[in-house]
Amino acid sequence: MTKKHYEMTTILKPEGGPDATRQFAERVDGIVNEFGGKILSLQSWGEKKLAYEIKKNLKGHYLFFNLVADGDLIKELERNFNIWENVLKFMSIRVDEKEDLDQLMSEARGIASLFERNEKKEPVEEKIEKPAEKEEEPEKQGVDDVRKYNEELQKTLRVEDDKEEEDVEL
């Protein structure tokens, strides 16, 4: 069979965290390599609330695979997804765009694309600036204005309530 470009989205059970996600990605990578395919990129969309309950889960961890493979590999992956307990749902789509598959395969980053982000994080220095006294005064004025408005609004409501009571008594 000829190789084609595919996109796969999987929803995993939220238990296990990043370690379970890494193990799942490595298992998929092993199958893809065994069948001669190549994972172009892997994205973790994170844990999201599901639209409806799936296998007693209200949340799921989304993973998006971009890969070059043949139909047999996709069938094998789907067979394994049906067997693995931590996979809630999956969907495979063949991309019909005319693309140079050799170029895509040469630019492939594999499953490392998912984990590069976590390993390359550098500590960010937090800059804490104290606001100047001049900046605090307008905030206080804004709060005072809101209080005055609320007090005036309450007075008008009381006056309207009093008028209604007088109309009822007449």
pLDDT digits (tens, 9 = 90+) for 7-58: 999 999 998 788 888 899 999 999 999 998 989 889 999 899 999 999 999 9
pTM for the structure as a whole? 0.62
Which DSSP helix (H) or strand (E) runs through 64?
A: strand 57-69
Amino acid identity at 165: E
Q: Which is more confident, 56 or 123?
A: 56
Q: Give the number of other CB atoms < 10 A from CB of residue 162.
A: 10
Three-state DSSP state, 8: strand
- Where does the pLDDT of residue 169 fall: very low under 50, low under 70, confident under 90, or very high at 90 and above? low
Instruction: Give me the chain's average pLDDT, please.
Output: 78
Provide, for the chain, the percentages of residues in helix, strand and coil under a 3-state DSSP scheme, each rounded to the nearest 5. Answer: 50, 30, 25
| pLDDT higher than threshold 60 for residue 164 | no
Residue 63, strand partner residues? 10, 44
